[in-house]
Amino acid sequence: MDQRICSDHVSEPKLKAIIEASTTMDRPCDYCDRTAPTISAWELAEHFDTMFERFFVSTTGYDDEGWGSQWDEDPEGESVLDVLERVAGLTGEVAENVVELLGDMWFDRDTMAHQYGADPHFVENEKFDEPLSQAWQDMEQSLKYEVRYNNPKVLTLLEQVFGPILDDRIEGREGVIVEIAPGRALGTLYRARVFPSLKPMEKALKSPERELGPPPPGVGRAGRMNAKGVPVFYGAVDPEIAIAEVRPPVGSHVVVGVFEVARPLRLLDIEKLILIDGDGSLFDPATYNRRNRRDFLKKLVRKLIRPVIPEREDESYLITQAVADFLATHGELDLDGILFPSAQVDAKTRLRTDARNVVLFNKSSDVASPYGEGSPFLDQETHFQMWDYDEDRLIFDPELTTRAVNPKVRLPSAIAWGNETLGPALRLDRDQIKIHQVLGVRYTYDTTPVRHVRVEPKNETK
């Protein structure tokens, strides 16, 4: 227990640094006589005890009577000695002494039981999300039954989960925040709107920027990433995905608008959070925290993007709306929106198309007005007609006309330019508006047969 160990007997960098940071140099290392900073064998064993508790799962245990035993004659995983050698380079007498000390730590003299069995074996833990998952459940309950806005439980947990995303990396290089801009990848977004009949569609296309873009404040319904009355822009990277997201019924018409990104926007690619690094020294508490967060984010991302049954939208959207509100108002993150995979398409569709959605927060969801470039004056007017005559027959032939007119009315700059500081975030391409009539819907599904058990009556004899 009192034997001193120097850093020459370990190879793991963090553990070497811990030993070298020791101020104890009053006697040489008991294993090599080197005069250097040392720690006691017991202290070294405590570091390993913490490591096993955090990063390993025991495959051995003790029996019902409390006496140390193995569950299997040939237990799965590595022995303690093998783990010490692999993760820290401990060998020989040093390793044997640490193993002996760990055995003392793991033996309960009151119950005469070995915590991990008489011959402990371990495998590395692959699940670290439990602490944050419990905190998330508490947060959900608080949102539902206590305070929704400025809830301290919500803000504290969301800061812990999302606050570090500026530093998150995938394979040490790629970040989780992407920038879209005019002329770059993802510079074009698609937004669909479903119409059950032709009359409201005809009225809407007379003002396409207003009707295909986000609704005005106070009007829109609640969505996955917005509370009721808070306008945001829901779009997709692919027009097919945009149509799938509005879930149109057979016989309806869907208008798809093409919106060009008008200025640089910062988006959190939420699917990348599943891939963030969790590597690091097993002797660094920060590694344990990173793995807790990484594994929790995997579970959280699945929750955020899973399909929602319409009848349960209000309840299911409560959490995703809280996440969106937090990200939209976080000053350091400075995000304009979120990029996330569609929940409305199957695996085959994902293989052949970019099945991702974009939500642009309220501050970045403004669409440029249809007025002339470089002038705050009204110098265009819009006309839309849906029908035309072919000989004596009325045919469906939609046409949008943008006509230049002499300036008449001076408009306030806020109406002409949207965000006065940055300019509008999006611009509708009037040349690419398309109307789709839904002729059919194809569902993909898993099938589980119902097992039928037939029970015959028993023959009763008297």
The model's pTM? 0.77
- Share the mean pLDDT of the chain: 85
Give me the long-range contacts of 180-186 (CB less than 8 A, separation at least 24): 180/261, 180/264, 180/265, 180/267, 181/261, 181/263, 181/264, 181/265, 182/260, 182/261, 182/262, 182/263, 186/237, 186/261, 186/267, 186/339, 186/358
For residue range 43-64, what is the model confidence (pLDDT) as tens digits?
Answer: 999 999 999 999 999 988 654 4
pLDDT higher at 133 or 249? 249
**Contacts of 31 by beta carbon, 8 Å cutoff, 6+ apart:** 3, 5, 6, 9, 93, 94
pLDDT higher at 370 or 243? 243
Tokens 């993802």 locate to 186
pLDDT in the model for residue 319 = 80
Q: In this model, does residue 20 exceed pLDDT 80?
A: yes
For residue range 349-386, what is the model confidence (pLDDT) as tens digits?
Answer: 888 889 999 999 999 999 988 765 555 555 678 899 99
Share of the chain above pLDDT 90, in %: 48
**Contacts of 332 by beta carbon, 8 Å cutoff, 6+ apart:** 163, 166
Q: In this model, does residue 409 exceed pLDDT 60?
A: no
Average pLDDT over residues 393-411: 77
